[in-house]
């Protein structure tokens, strides 16, 4: 049997299983939670509070709550929070030190959304500016536009006095070089003959991490804002923009409902508008975790081309979602189980919440 036939048979089985677990109900809307491999359960926190992606979000949520507790605005809080990762050379998925595109150039994407005013600002494929989330905020506050990309975004950042700097650290450059030298036996690049010179051991400890930081916050007046910032897919095509700066895909916030954001394969979120879907599901009464699981399910249902499917017919990539609602309930989910979590800070400190998942 050809791989694609195998995938489509297994996929039929997979979709049948999901439907059966839902008691025969149509997959969407209203799939019962019993269809999911793990449901962790939402937890309630006290405002001011902030959530972020689990692998890199602790400093961000801490900072966001500190800013709000000192009387600062929720949007200031979450942006100052993610600025820590943007400036951290050891976070190779965000800002300074991010893994570059296929040409060895770091291109950053970021967005902010103010759920109180329903305004959003974003930048895509921005080069040489360490804090794209700050530029995204200025797009929202100082222009009539929502998204600036490439040269135009850089010009706008310069106009506002942002300093241009080299964002490519030696560590990220070495990783990119290793990728380029091992890409093909049919080109003019090859890796060093002495394996001890390779950076791969360093890389392995990092490889399991997904990129990007998302953070959302809720203040004591019920104000909700969100931000997502990233260096994007490793070795992406120059000019490739992911889900992070696209409102509705990599983040969404509405003070009347809640906020959601994502890390992982951005194309899946661009094609399914997952963060918008999560907020709309919460508007209809889903808890944050249920809503995040619905987004996983939607992606699984809609992923039907063989290059994106494993032999069992399920998606061969991962996406993680993080959400909060206006009552301070927090929950998240990932498409495939990988031990993902989210960080939550409130006045009692920082907490870790496990993500539910759809697929083992």
Shortest Å distance, C-beta 125 to ligand ASP: 11
Distance CA 287, CA 285 (A): 6
Shortest Å distance, C-beta 275 to ligand ASP: 11
**Between 77 and 261, CB nearer to ligand ASP:** 261
- For 331, the 3-state DSSP assignment is strand
Q: Is the dihedral of CA 285, 288, 290, 296 positive or negative?
A: positive
Q: Is the dihedral of CA 53, 350, 256, 80 positive or negative?
A: negative
Shortest Å distance, C-beta 340 to ligand ASP: 12
**Between 223 and 242, CB nearer to ligand ASP:** 242
Neighbour count for residue 16 (Cβ, 10 Å): 10
- Is 212 annotated in the active site? yes
Question: Distances from the Cα of 349 to the Cαs of 40, 83, 172, 352, in angstroms?
Answer: 20, 20, 33, 10
Shortest Å distance, C-beta 270 to ligand ASP: 8
Catalogue the E-assigned strands of 48-100. 49-53
| Strand pairing report for 329-336 and 43-44 | antiparallel
**Between 91 and 114, CB nearer to ligand ASP:** 91
**Between 211 and 331, CB nearer to ligand ASP:** 211
Main-chain dihedrals φ then ψ at residue 34, nearest 5 degrees: -65, -15
Which of 212, 227, 247, 314 is an active site residue?
212
| Strand pairing report for 341-346 and 213-218 | unpaired
**Between 7 and 274, CB nearer to ligand ASP:** 274
Main-chain dihedrals φ then ψ at residue 325, nearest 5 degrees: -115, 175
Place of tokens 């939607």: 298
Shortest Å distance, C-beta 232 to ligand ASP: 4
Q: Which residues bind ligand ASP (CB under 6 A)?
A: 210-212, 230, 232-233, 242-244, 263-264, 266
Catalytic residues: 212
């Amino acid at each position: 049997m050809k791989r694609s036939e195998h995938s489509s048979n297994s996929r039929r089985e997979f979709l049948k299983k999901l439907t059966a677990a839902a008691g025969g109900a149509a997959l969407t809307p209203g799939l019962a939670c019993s269809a999911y491999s793990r449901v962790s359960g939402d937890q309630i926190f006290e405002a001011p509070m902030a959530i972020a992606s689990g692998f890199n979000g602790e400093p961000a949520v801490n900072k966001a709550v500190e800013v709000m507790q000192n009387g600062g605005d929720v949007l200031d809080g979450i942006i100052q929070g993610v600025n820590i990762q943007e400036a951290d050379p050891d976070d190779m998925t965000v800002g300074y030190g991010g893994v570059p595109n296929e040409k060895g150039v770091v291109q950053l994407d970021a967005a902010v959304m103010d759920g109180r005013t329903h305004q959003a600002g974003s930048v895509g494929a921005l080069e040489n500016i360490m804090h794209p989330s700050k530029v995204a905020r200025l797009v929202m506050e100082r222009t009539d536009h929502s998204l600036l990309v490439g040269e135009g975004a850089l010009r706008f950042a310069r106009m506002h006095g942002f300093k241009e700097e080299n964002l490519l650290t030696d560590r990220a450059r070495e990783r990119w070089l290793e990728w380029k030298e091992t890409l093909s036996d049919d080109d003019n690049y090859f890796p060093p003959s002495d394996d001890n010179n390779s950076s791969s051991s360093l890389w392995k400890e990092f490889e399991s991490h997904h990129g990007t930081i998302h953070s959302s916050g809720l203040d004591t007046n019920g104000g909700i804002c969100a931000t997502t910032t990233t260096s994007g897919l490793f070795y992406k095509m120059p000019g490739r923009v992911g889900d992070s700066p696209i409102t509705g895909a990599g983040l969404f916030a509405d003070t009347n409902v809640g906020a959601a954001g994502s890390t992982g394969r951005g194309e899946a979120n661009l094609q399914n508008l997952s963060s918008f879907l999560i907020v709309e599901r919460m508007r209809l009464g889903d808890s944050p975790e249920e809503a995040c699981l619905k987004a996983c399910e939607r992606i699984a249902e809609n992923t039907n081309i063989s290059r994106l499917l494993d032999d069992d017919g399920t998606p061969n990539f991962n996406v993680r979602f993080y959400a909060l609602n206006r009552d301070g309930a927090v929950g998240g989910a990932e498409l495939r189980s990988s031990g993902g979590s989210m960080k939550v800070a409130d006045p009692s400190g920082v907490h870790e919440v496990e993500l539910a998942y759809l697929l083992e």
